[in-house]
Amino acid sequence: MNKQRTPFANSLGAPTPKDYDQLVQRASELSGISMTDLLSSKRTQRVSQWRQSIFYVLRHMGATFQEIGTYFNRTHGTIIHGCNTLEKNASNKTVRQIIVDLTTKTNGDTDNQQP
């Protein structure tokens, strides 16, 4: 059974390991949180919010929960929970701005790549 892809995912294509690294690096630059902390098990609200935003963007780029979990050394259930939590908080201005910032950079990177 094929997984339905969102229009956002269709516009970007499936993420590669390089995309994961670039997205975490971009989140680190925007947030001031180190890449190590974003990939760690730290559970402070700020780190978790940024990490969950990365989960959400990668998921909408077409990555599976398992793939994201493997990259972040977490179970797919943790990724599902993170995406669901982010969707519940979508009305939060800060959360929306994080997603916009991450996806704007991701779109720019994809559009500038030459085959």
* Domain boundaries, given as residue ranges, for the chain: 16-108
What global pTM score does this model have? Answer: 0.80
**What would the pLDDT profile of 45-90 be if each residue is shown by its tens digit?**
999 999 999 999 999 999 999 999 999 999 999 999 999 999 999 8
- The class of domain 16-108 in CATH terms is mainly alpha
Cα angle vertex 22, ends 17, 114, to 5°?
Answer: 80
**What would the pLDDT profile of 9-23 be if each residue is shown by its tens digit?**
555 567 888 999 999
Torsion over CA: 54, 105, 99, 26 (sign): positive
